[in-house]
Amino acid sequence: MTSQLNGSVLKAFRILELFAEGRSELTAGETATALDINMITAHRFLHTLEHAGALRMVARGVFRLGYVFADLGDRVRHDGSLPTVIQPVLDDLARQTGEACMATEFDRDMAVCIAKALPDRALYVDIRIGSRLDAFCTAHGKLWLAFMSAADQDHYFANADLTGMTDRTITDLAMLKDELATIRQQGFSTNNGERESEIFALAVPVLTQHGNMISALSVFGATPSLITEKRDAVLTALRQAANAGQQALYGKA
């Protein structure tokens, strides 16, 4: 299989990945060092990518990403393929945990259910595809908020109405921000009956290879044991599912 791969194409994509690692600009010297290639080859790659529209030169020998990626990125997010990619992962997760599972995207100020899987038993909690979940009081919503930039988080809270849904809803902004910081650090969130008093959930992010959150997965149900005595086992299953989801996004599943 590897004999069918084009090394030059792989190197070109490795150059583009350097921007995903936090760089806003790139020079031939930095490219040569990162890819362990000579300067002439680095210049050739950069100018070829510029010619193709993938890069743009902003100063002599200094390159930034081309605007073609703005359109391509928008198409990836809205082409409807994510639910299809995630569904087999959710199906496996529901079989493993015996609980309902779902995946979300974030739309403006709410988490939106894009896929679900139900357990093979008579009684379970269900949710409709397309359901919109308040961000500040659900496992999915809090996870999306936790992985936002500080500026986006501030924008959300400037317009949010932190109304208590149950007696467990966190409505104090300082306390909520502290919880979001903890969620970001530990890599998972919970819903302890904060939106509906008898619904409990654990959620983890699905991240790109460079740490950007692209979806969230959860296990949810009507028993608090999900986030108490079953928590560690469910978290292990969720993290394995999130890893499988990431691999599927890159065609490696």
What pLDDT, on a 0 to 100 scale, did the predictor assign at position 1?
45
What pLDDT, on a 0 to 100 scale, did the predictor assign at position 221?
93
pTM of the shown model: 0.75
Q: Which range in 6-20, 117-131, 171-185 is most confidently predicted, on average pLDDT?
A: 171-185
100-135 pLDDT tens trace: 999 999 998 999 999 999 998 877 888 999 999 999
In a shared domain, residues 31 and 85: no
Confidence at 183, pLDDT banded by 50, 70, 90: very high
What pLDDT, on a 0 to 100 scale, did the predictor assign at position 64?
87
164 DSSP assignment: -
In a shared domain, residues 244 and 162: yes
In a shared domain, residues 63 and 102: no
- 75 pLDDT higher than 80: no
Burial 20-32 (b: 16+ CB within 10 A, else e): eeeeeebbbebbb
Closest to 183 (Cα-Cα) out of 221, 214, 233, 147: 147
In a shared domain, residues 38 and 145: no
What pLDDT, on a 0 to 100 scale, did the predictor assign at position 73?
59
In a shared domain, residues 89 and 125: yes
38-54 mean pLDDT: 90
Q: Are 179 and 168 in contact (CB under 8 A)?
A: no
Enumerate residues 6+ apart whose C-beta is below 8 A from 177: 153
Q: What is the dihedral of CA 146, 107, 162, 200, to 10 degrees?
A: -70
35-62 mean pLDDT: 90
In a shared domain, residues 61 and 99: no
CATH code at position 187: 3.30.450.40
In a shared domain, residues 42 and 97: no
The mean pLDDT value of the chain amounts to 89
The boundaries of the domain holding residue 39 are: 2-71
Total of domains in the chain: 2
In a shared domain, residues 138 and 220: yes
141-171 pLDDT tens trace: 999 999 999 999 999 999 999 999 999 999 9
